[in-house]
Amino acid sequence: MKKYLMTGLLVSLALQAGAAVAAESATAKAVFAGGCFWCMEAPFDAIDGVKSTTSGYIGGTTKSPTYEQVSSGRTGHAEAVQVIYDPKKVTYEKLLYVYWRNIDPTTPNRQFCDAGTQYRTGIFYVDEAQKKAALASKAELEKSKPFPGAVVTEITAAGEFTPAEDYHQDYYLKNPVRYKFYRTGCGRDDRLKELWGVQAGGGTH
């Protein structure tokens, strides 16, 4: 009897492990840089099918950088957000649409009131399918853009992504008053409306 119980337990554990692996494989990852990462979590969190967003650093040379190092502009990193999503519920193309309409793609090494290479815009693709989709979306934007100025957002392969310190995660939820003050004071929403009109924020797609 003990033997059968043990066998049943092992089978149950194996099934649970298999289910966990299946659940893990059902998600995909995307990485976007759009200036201050505080302001890039909220737009993606609002999308049905997005499971999580994580603020962090990508595109630099320093191993496991800190905020102080990145903010100095000497590590080569950009502030970015890593998006974990369910591709059965939301497409990468949808994420791209929302991404573009939450940034100013015409300013190199700057977003709104924040200047420096750490605030550059960028799409960091994790595979060839994402690369193809990102390049296509940029080409389409360059063709039909509603604003003057060249699109300078970089599209490059994703390297190591380092999560930012805990106090940066979900900042817009933890500190809503300070977040709103920063966002408004930085002129982010006014500039997005100037660039994108009713499409600003991506909520109309």
Structure-block tokens of residue 58: 């990508």
- Residue 199, C-beta contacts closer than 8 angstroms, at least 6 positions apart: 101, 146, 205
101/202 Cα distance (integer angstroms): 5
Catalytic residue among 36, 39, 113, 186: 36
56/169 Cα distance (integer angstroms): 9
The neighbouring-strand residues paired with 30 are 83
Would residue 113 show up in a list of annotated catalytic residues for this protein? Answer: no
- Show which residues are catalytic: 36
